[in-house]
């Protein structure tokens, strides 16, 4: 009986503690206040926030997804950033930590079209985009190389954007004749001088994602 009473009391205290923590969670008004800056036009939120263990910082945090609209240097162009706001979660206390952007785009600046991307591949060349190590490991002809259904465009500035390219081909797996057919994802970043100029250079920022087919 004593054990049952103790368990019941513990359960009640746990519910009360959870309720207190729930009420103490940052309000949308507070998050907007913590996130807002001189460039902020508006902030909207996704589903209700939740607590999670952050492995990199080894602490409990509370997060809330957001989309924010920001002013740019051009009054006709706005930056749209998605991500999540993170708060240190210490019991029922929450203090703002930082924001973690996931993606960025600009209203008024279109993403490169598939046709434009293909023209850039022809101009910069497949060999340069692949890099010497990956290109030298190609066996025969590259079957296809271009943007996937979702290139995951991410604008760093109005004059620099990153996206994925996927190449399907057969590659060497060792020095004694081993081969494997598959696809490799390349992350590309483009640069230009201004929004009206051509893309003048590129950088392959990642090419590690190989998937056997």
| Residue 1, domain member (yes or no) | no
The last residue of one of the domains, among 107, 127, 145, is 107
| pLDDT the model gives residue 1 | 52
Q: Are residues 91 and 58 in the same domain?
A: yes
| pLDDT the model gives residue 201 | 97
| Residue 20, domain member (yes or no) | no
| Residue 136, domain member (yes or no) | yes
**pLDDT tens, position by position, 47-98:** 999 999 999 999 999 999 999 999 999 999 999 999 999 999 998 899 999 9
| pLDDT the model gives residue 131 | 97
Q: Are residues 103 and 118 in the same domain?
A: no
| Residue 3, domain member (yes or no) | no
Q: Are residues 176 and 133 in the same domain?
A: yes
Q: Are residues 46 and 94 in the same domain?
A: yes
Q: Are residues 133 and 208 in the same domain?
A: yes
| pLDDT the model gives residue 10 | 45
Q: Which residues of the chain have pLDDT under 70?
A: 1-23
**Structural domain boundaries, residue 93:** 25-107
Instruction: Tell me the pLDDT of the chain averaged across its residues.
Output: 91
Find out whether 153 and 181 touch, Cβ atoms under 8 Å: no
| pLDDT the model gives residue 15 | 47
């Amino acid at each position: 009986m004593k054990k049952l009473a103790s368990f019941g009391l513990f359960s009640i205290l746990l519910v009360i503690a959870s309720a207190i923590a729930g009420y103490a969670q940052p309000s949308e008004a507070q998050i907007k206040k913590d996130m807002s800056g001189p460039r902020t036009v508006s902030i909207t939120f996704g589903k209700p926030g939740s607590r999670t263990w952050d492995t990199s910082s080894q602490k409990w945090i509370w997060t809330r997804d957001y989309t924010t609209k920001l002013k740019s240097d051009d009054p006709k162009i706005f930056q749209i950033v998605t991500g999540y706001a993170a708060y240190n979660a210490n019991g029922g206390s929450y203090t703002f930590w930082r924001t973690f952007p996931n993606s960025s785009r600009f209203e008024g600046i279109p993403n490169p079209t598939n046709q434009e991307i293909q023209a850039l591949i022809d101009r910069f060349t497949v060999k340069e985009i692949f890099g010497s190590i990956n290109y030298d490991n190609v066996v025969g002809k590259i079957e296809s190389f271009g943007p996937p259904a979702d290139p995951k465009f991410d604008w760093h500035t109005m004059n620099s954007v990153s996206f994925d390219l996927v190449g399907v081909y057969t590659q060497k797996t060792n020095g004694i004749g081993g081969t494997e057919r598959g696809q490799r994802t390349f992350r590309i970043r483009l640069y230009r001088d201004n929004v009206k100029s051509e893309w003048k250079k590129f950088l392959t920022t990642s090419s590690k994602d190989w998937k056997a087919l």
